[in-house]
Structure 1
Amino acid sequence: MISAVNAEWVIEEYRGKDLGLTYTKEESLFKVWAPAASAVSLVLYESGGVPGESAEETGDAKLTLMSRQGSGLWEVRVAGDLAGLFYMFRAVYEDGTVKECPDPYAFAVSANGLRSAIVDLRETDPEGWETDESPRLAHPVDAVLYELHVRDFSIHESLGAAHRGQYLAFTEGELRDEAGNRLGVDHLAELGITHVHLMPVFDYQTVDELDQGGPRYNWGYDPQHYNAPEGSYSTDPADPRARIREFKKMVQALHARGIGVVMDVVYNHTYAVDTGPFEGLAPGYFYRRDPAGRLTNGSGVGNELATERPMVRKYIKDSLRYWLTEYHIDGFRFDLMGVIDTVTMREIAEELRIEFRPDLLFYGEPWTGGDSPLMNKTLKGAQKGKGYAVFNDNYRSAIKGDNDGWGRGYATGEWGREGAVAAGIKGAIHDFADSPRETVNYVSAHDNLNLWDKILTVQGLRGHCRFPDLADGRLVGGGDAEEAIAKADPYAVLEEGELLQDETVRRSLLASALVLTSQGIPFLQAGDELLRSKFGDHNSYRSSDSINAIRWGNKARFRQVFDYYRGLIALRKQHPAFRLRGRQEVERALHFTRCDGGVVSYLLKDHAGGDSWRNIAVLFNANPWPVTAWLPPSEEGWQVVADHTGAGTETLRKVEGPEITVEGLSLMILYDLCEEPRPRSRTIEIHYEREDGDYRGWNLWVWGTGIQDGQCDFTRLKDGRAVALLEVQPETASVGYLLRLNDWEAKDGSADCYIDCSGEEDWIRVRIRGAGGMQPDSSLGLTS
């Protein structure tokens, strides 16, 4: 029995940033944190290993003793170029137990992750990688997220990709159907999304990378090696370099089209404990346990990582840093973020934005999968002012109803949800958020019924569409699932000649239109714009490709639906009124005119967010019948840019009088005057200087901005100072602030301070000297 965690070695934290392998052609340095071990050896192999076969059986193991360096660290240097070899760490404990483990920090692995691999990462860089540039966001609400599974994207023959189900499918441009419609990666660019959110692409456990004939599908929420890409998406899983190089090519291809890449990360649990990446080297430390020593189950799948412990928190941050540095990732979505403690999430958002880029995206699921003993869970509301967002399940349920059943929402036929819909439209600022940047708005994701299937379920049309009764990808009661799927027709209800008149289509568009026009960050599931169906399978995590694959033939078939989505996205991206950045800005500009009887309507007033349109009227009608609405007087008349016939940035028709009819199950968007865009804000650039140079946890608490009061983070370091950018309303004359550590753990200075904004400068620079309670210096308020 291995000695478990105890106070004597828990405090042996290692603060360096070089755990794992540091490779050069001249030598390789190996470092591992194994504080409870009495001896640790590096084991070098010539092969990547065979499942169930020991090192003694292969006969290719070479052991080198590692030396203990303090802080629980073991290290060894090995001369020569080791590229092409594989390695493990072998830990020996006082009771005689021996554990051989892969490197938790391994950035390359053999097929199925059996052993850590030694590669020269520079040899994995594709041509032009050094000049690869990520698209940049001015603000998180400018993002349009698109959740996508690598295999789903290209596995169906209708795409015509050469690399079906693989990373390299994203590099295949100019794919078109017979009608000339753009498919694949060019479809994504045409749609207008800003970021692809990739479901797990780290090395996961449940797909045999070498068995081409076996089950090849899983969503990937079963982590094995957090810092190496999944091999089943590569052309050669047995070559540790292939998956790395091809992953980079995928990122490069998306960036070339102006699309950022968000990684879905699962730092809440591992697939296994005893054979996982941590337990053999730090027994009892990386996982939460109850007082009896049993694993707790906040993830719902048997274990949960103890993120609140320093070396676990360090591991997560180091892992994220690695993906940002090596793969040019643009953001992260955190699975079951409720199981991650609030301090870890705050430090991730704060530190990585300062170290890398201020426009990195961070968001996640603010719930758990089971009961957890963690006290400071990252649930809805915990994100307030902390620089990351959470999924708004309140809004999701208000729009569509429950996830998998007959329960209705606003877009699926139930009155009484208008108030909850209005709360979502305002970016949840009167619900659980401080600003719109903290809410991710969605109705459909990989979990549960997707949007089309949910609407069919509510309408009682599953039988009409011959949906099979599936569980875990198999027919309930037995039988041939593939045959049953082939007989199903998710579109049996459609009158395709009148596509935009169809009730199911209209309800689908109504739901997604709410997401794409609301304040906050919109999130779409891949294929919603093609009326994607999964044949009623609400949990397709290991179902077949016939259920999960995106059928690209639907683009020509449902082109009108795609164009509607594309138009709404273009409208959002072109008009900042739909992307307001702060609570005060929303409260000043967005006013509801009706919120009852199946109708939700509002105005975005007075060039909201600096928009070129003076006033914008947005009306949603969830009734199956037309309703009459009234518009404010306008001498110029109102221009319709979206209704039941289409959506976009161009005028569809003009409305002269105050009375207007909104067709059933539709929306209408109008504007009354187009002028030169107004300045949305002025910017104050604040440089904070501390004598100790330690800016960890420090932030500004501001008021009077007219846009977003509350916490304002420093997002970069320059010349030894922390720099923050603060947006203020153009007419703001003075802004108040205090300097604080985290959530008022300490203050730098005791009195309220103010920045003079009474001049006409659009960009105001100030410098504040602090530390030890010092007051701001005389340069405060000077502009340049």
Structure 2
Amino acid sequence: MTTTAAPLLAAGLRVSPGVPLPYGATATPEGINFSIPAGGASSMTLVLYWRGAPEPFAEVVFPRDCRVGGVYSMLVSGLDPEAIEYGYRADGPFAPGRGLRFDARTVLADPYARAFGGRETWGAPYSLDPYPYRSRVVAGEAFDWQGDTPPRTPVEDLVVYELHVRGFTRHPSSGVRRPGTFAGLAEKIPHLLDLGVNCVELLPVFEFDESDNARSSEGRRLFNYWGYNTFGHFAPKASYAASDDAATELKDTVRRLHAAGIEVVLDVVFNHTAEGDERGRTLSFRGLDNPGFYLLAPDGSYLNFSGTGNTFNANSPVGRAFVLDCLRYWVAEFHIDGFRFDLASALVRGQDGAPLADPPLLEAIAADPVLRDTKLIAEAWDAGGLYQVGSFPHYGRWSEWNGRFRDSARRFLQGDHQAAQDLGARVLGSLDLYGRRGPRASVNFVTCHDGFTLHDLYAYNDKHNHANGEDNLDGERANHSWNCGVEGPTDDPEVLRLRSRQVRNALVLLLASRGVPMLTAGDEFGRSQQGNNNAYCHDVLSWIDWGLAADNAELLRFTRALTAFRRTHPALRSPDARGLATTPVDGVPLLQWTLRLGDDAVHVAANAHWETHTVPLPDLTGHLAWHAFADTAAPEPLAPVRPPEPGRVMLPPRSVQVLYAAPFDPSGDPHDT
């Protein structure tokens, strides 16, 4: 072990004061600049490993002249960035009751590291305990963006598509050359374009440990598949790359998506970290500045508003600076277009855990000049019971996942007439929730990664999570799902027809409403998770079976037609459109709404009842007439549908019809397309 400069000189290494910024390890012509903030530490040691070696080849204590304030920075010459891995030992008081957990025995990962060692193969065992999270130095050449220009699609014109990078193309049926990777995602751009998607929202792609799940079930290994346990916020996940350079591959994928007019939003996890509570492993944050990075109770224990054991101290100066540095990095270096913040309401909490009226972090993100053009989307609740849909501190910038749209749409399609009135407000853009922000603040969805797929929503009444190894106790209980008469798979043609109709109904509610629609990958052709509504731990079960695109070609065609219809009709997208919703029959789950912008008008009539109902159509000006676009109950849902008489439309049970205004043709049927 080497702890002074003299032996290092003999080894061909030289140490001199570094520069405090940027944090992390930066390769320069003079050497590698190591900079790590740890304000409460009494000393800091750099630990150097050869790549893959179990023991360090050198440990260097930062000299006194290598500290500026609470930042330790040191330039080390004579190192090959491609040959080493590194970590830190932070010394200081260990007093958990006061929130201090320094322990020089533990080698800490660099939270600013841009890569980590040994993570290239998904699920591969990593045996370099007790310090498996080895930071690496990234010294690659500048990426050629080839004149990349982000699409900067207006928020109201977005059609968002949520996907898991690995699961999207890992199934053999995907037909891509590099399955389960960033490059594989790029190979599926033609599908995204055909579907009418112009924004992909990627489940976590920052480095996480998929093996961080001790459970097994039915002899099968379980994973932390979704990735909501980030340990490397500046490092793209190495096992999501087909090459040995994850950063370059992700940048190339972003560039290709942009060239196709598709924006990239990242699902980011700042509400908690992978360290858990006091029983968890110390990886980095806890050993560098525990009270700066975490919300702590007076006795030093961890406040848990995330459901994972800890809550990130997002509004402390230390926590706020970390998040801002991270977001700026991904926008500047990777040209990312926006971020969806997991359990974002945890980010409004102050040091004592109470919600803040003006959270410094959210205001800083909204006002940051580097982030000026990025989309900001909040999952406006947390696991501590704070539900802020419609009241999330937005500073004129933030949109929200609209959980009320999801719940009202599902309840209505179950046949709940009491949900119709609330759904009426949702389909018009939830102006009762978002006021001056308008419908652009509402990200509407019926399904997402968390919960039933759209197929399973109408194939199961109950969750079937036994394979998760938690005795089916995990996962949401209130799914507002309906199996249409049979639980799970069936050959009954009537049940299958009804299920297909319900799926189409849900898609119409989503894509013919004001607000920003979000589809979940695979729902466009009937992906199933066999009734599992919490598939966070399943690798194979969560892969998308692309063979379903052929098996359910009519559903795929219907979804494509809906997104195309949305693009064609500005009344569905424009913040200036006027809307009116009615529930024409009391006590019956019926809902109609009309959206108008000049001569463009769209009318949707939805019947979630088990009986047929005839409802009136709104009047149009003299030169316009209603034309049929879709009828979810028709044998061919996209074939023209003729209303039974002028000014009225007959709605079969469990069906939705979509009509649009077009010039009246006196030589033909005014209701015919």
Give the TM-score taking structure 2 as reference length.
0.80
**Structure 1 residue 21, shift from structure 2 partner:** 2.6
- Listed one character per residue, the Cα deviations across residues 356-407 of structure 1 (whole Å, up to 9, x for unaligned) are 552x2111211111368xxxx966412455311122212211111xxxxxxx
Which whole-Å CA distance do the structure 1 matches of 2:317 and 2:518 have between them? Answer: 33
**Structure 1 residue 553, shift from structure 2 partner:** 0.9
**Structure 1 residue 526, shift from structure 2 partner:** 1.0
Contact 1:171–1:185 (CA under 8 A) maintained in structure 2: yes
**Structure 1 residue 220, shift from structure 2 partner:** 0.4
Residue correspondence of structure 1 range 155-194 to structure 2 within 5 A: 155-172=170-187, 184-194=188-198
Determine if the alignment matches structure 1 residue 366 to structure 2 residue 380: yes
Q: Aligned match of 2:71 in 70, 73, 76?
A: 73
- Tell me the residue number matched to 1:247: 250
- Listed one character per residue, the Cα deviations across residues 252-297 of structure 1 (whole Å, up to 9, x for unaligned) are 3322322111111000111115523211111332111111211111
Q: Aligned match of 1:638 in 604, 626, 647?
A: 626
- Tell me the residue number matched to 1:259: 262
- Tell me the residue number matched to 2:3: none
Determine if the alignment matches structure 1 residue 136 to structure 2 residue 143: no
**Structure 1 residue 663, shift from structure 2 partner:** 3.1
- Tell me the residue number matched to 1:180: none
- Flag the 1:632–1:536 CA change in 2: closer, same or farther, 3 A: closer
Which whole-Å CA distance do the structure 1 matches of 2:176 and 2:60 have between them? Answer: 43
- Listed one character per residue, the Cα deviations across residues 313-350 of structure 1 (whole Å, up to 9, x for unaligned) are 11001101111111111111111111002524533542
- Flag the 1:250–1:606 CA change in 2: closer, same or farther, 3 A: closer
- Tell me the residue number matched to 1:770: none
Q: Aligned match of 2:136 in 117, 122, 147?
A: 117
1:243 counterpart letter in structure 2 = A
**Structure 1 residue 111, shift from structure 2 partner:** 1.7
Contact 2:117–2:135 (CA under 8 A) maintained in structure 1: yes
- Flag the 1:32–1:454 CA change in 2: closer, same or farther, 3 A: same
- Tell me the residue number matched to 1:5: none
- Flag the 1:208–1:166 CA change in 2: closer, same or farther, 3 A: farther
- Tell me the residue number matched to 1:503: 498
Aligned to 2:404, the other structure's residue is in SS state helix
Residue correspondence of structure 1 range 233-244 to structure 2 within 5 A: 233-235=240-242, 239=244, 242-244=245-247
Residue correspondence of structure 1 range 343-422 to structure 2 within 5 A: 343-344=359-360, 346-352=362-368, 354-358=369-373, 360-370=374-384, 380-400=390-410, 409-422=411-424
- Tell me the residue number matched to 2:535: 540
- Tell me the residue number matched to 2:49: 45
Contact 2:571–2:597 (CA under 8 A) maintained in structure 1: no
- Tell me the residue number matched to 2:613: 627
2:490 counterpart letter in structure 1 = A
**Structure 1 residue 505, shift from structure 2 partner:** 1.1
Aligned to 1:550, the other structure's residue is in SS state coil
**Structure 1 residue 225, shift from structure 2 partner:** 0.9
Which whole-Å CA distance do the structure 2 matches of 1:171 and 1:440 have between them? Answer: 25
Contact 2:417–2:589 (CA under 8 A) maintained in structure 1: yes
Which whole-Å CA distance do the structure 1 matches of 2:309 and 2:71 have between them? Answer: 29
Number of residue pairs aligned between Structure 1 and Structure 2: 587
Aligned to 1:218, the other structure's residue is in SS state coil
Which whole-Å CA distance do the structure 2 matches of 1:220 and 1:614 have between them? Answer: 43
Determine if the alignment matches structure 1 residue 447 to structure 2 residue 450: yes
Determine if the alignment matches structure 1 residue 665 to structure 2 residue 672: no
Which whole-Å CA distance do the structure 1 matches of 2:89 and 2:233 have between them? Answer: 20
Aligned to 1:350, the other structure's residue is in SS state helix
Aligned to 2:286, the other structure's residue is in SS state coil
Residue correspondence of structure 1 range 431-510 to structure 2 within 5 A: 431=433, 433-434=435-436, 435-458=438-461, 470-472=466-468, 492-493=490-491, 495=493, 502-510=497-505
Which whole-Å CA distance do the structure 2 matches of 1:672 and 1:294 have between them? Answer: 62
Aligned to 1:340, the other structure's residue is in SS state helix
Q: Aligned match of 2:162 in 130, 140, 147?
A: 147
- Listed one character per residue, the Cα deviations across residues 84-128 of structure 1 (whole Å, up to 9, x for unaligned) are 1222222222679414312111112212462111122326x3xx5
- Flag the 1:536–1:161 CA change in 2: closer, same or farther, 3 A: same
- Listed one character per residue, the Cα deviations across residues 196-254 of structure 1 (whole Å, up to 9, x for unaligned) are 11111111123389xxx965661101111111012222236xx5xx2222222332332
- Tell me the residue number matched to 2:86: 87
Q: Aligned match of 1:528 in 523, 533, 542?
A: 523
2:311 counterpart letter in structure 1 = E
Contact 2:241–2:249 (CA under 8 A) maintained in structure 1: yes
Aligned to 2:614, the other structure's residue is in SS state strand
Determine if the alignment matches structure 1 residue 32 to structure 2 residue 51: no
- Flag the 1:661–1:165 CA change in 2: closer, same or farther, 3 A: same
Quick one: percent identity of the two aligned structures? Answer: 30
Q: Aligned match of 2:561 in 562, 567, 582?
A: 567
> What CA RMSD, in Å, does the superposition of the two structures yield over aligned residues?
3.1
Where structure 1 has 5 or more consecutive residues not aligned to the other structure, the ranges are: 1-14, 173-183, 401-408, 478-487, 608-612, 676-784
Which whole-Å CA distance do the structure 1 matches of 2:43 and 2:647 have between them? Answer: 82
Which whole-Å CA distance do the structure 2 matches of 1:118 and 1:565 have between them? Answer: 45
1:429 counterpart letter in structure 2 = L
- Flag the 1:231–1:561 CA change in 2: closer, same or farther, 3 A: same
- Tell me the residue number matched to 1:679: none
Contact 2:43–2:61 (CA under 8 A) maintained in structure 1: no
- Flag the 1:235–1:355 CA change in 2: closer, same or farther, 3 A: closer
Aligned to 2:384, the other structure's residue is in SS state coil
Which whole-Å CA distance do the structure 1 matches of 2:160 and 2:663 have between them? Answer: 28
Contact 1:349–1:386 (CA under 8 A) maintained in structure 2: no
2:499 counterpart letter in structure 1 = T
Aligned to 1:311, the other structure's residue is in SS state helix
**Structure 1 residue 561, shift from structure 2 partner:** 0.8
Which whole-Å CA distance do the structure 2 matches of 1:198 and 1:253 have between them? Answer: 15
- Flag the 1:474–1:185 CA change in 2: closer, same or farther, 3 A: farther
Which whole-Å CA distance do the structure 2 matches of 1:489 and 1:622 have between them? Answer: 20
- Listed one character per residue, the Cα deviations across residues 568-624 of structure 1 (whole Å, up to 9, x for unaligned) are 11121222211132xxx45xx1122435422211222351xxxxx443322112223
Q: Aligned match of 1:600 in 586, 591, 609?
A: 591
1:362 counterpart letter in structure 2 = L
- Tell me the residue number matched to 2:275: 272
Contact 1:166–1:233 (CA under 8 A) maintained in structure 2: yes
Q: Aligned match of 1:512 in 479, 490, 507?
A: 507
- Flag the 1:235–1:63 CA change in 2: closer, same or farther, 3 A: farther
2:647 counterpart letter in structure 1 = P
Which whole-Å CA distance do the structure 1 matches of 2:503 and 2:342 have between them? Answer: 26
- Flag the 1:606–1:450 CA change in 2: closer, same or farther, 3 A: closer
Which whole-Å CA distance do the structure 1 matches of 2:271 and 2:24 have between them? Answer: 21
1:189 counterpart letter in structure 2 = L
2:81 counterpart letter in structure 1 = A
Contact 2:26–2:138 (CA under 8 A) maintained in structure 1: no
**Structure 1 residue 26, shift from structure 2 partner:** 3.3
Contact 1:471–1:539 (CA under 8 A) maintained in structure 2: no
Contact 2:420–2:583 (CA under 8 A) maintained in structure 1: no
- Listed one character per residue, the Cα deviations across residues 429-478 of structure 1 (whole Å, up to 9, x for unaligned) are 113554212221111111122222122224xxx7xxxx96624168879x
**Structure 1 residue 668, shift from structure 2 partner:** 2.1
Determine if the alignment matches structure 1 residue 557 to structure 2 residue 551: yes
Q: Aligned match of 1:103 in 110, 120, 126?
A: 110
- Listed one character per residue, the Cα deviations across residues 43-83 of structure 1 (whole Å, up to 9, x for unaligned) are 3332145xxx443xxx4556654645443111112335642
Which whole-Å CA distance do the structure 2 matches of 1:94 and 1:275 have between them? Answer: 15
Aligned to 1:282, the other structure's residue is in SS state helix
User: Which one scores higher on RCO, CA 8 angstroms, separation ≥ 6?
Assistant: 2
- Flag the 1:371–1:441 CA change in 2: closer, same or farther, 3 A: closer
- Flag the 1:214–1:117 CA change in 2: closer, same or farther, 3 A: farther
1:224 counterpart letter in structure 2 = F
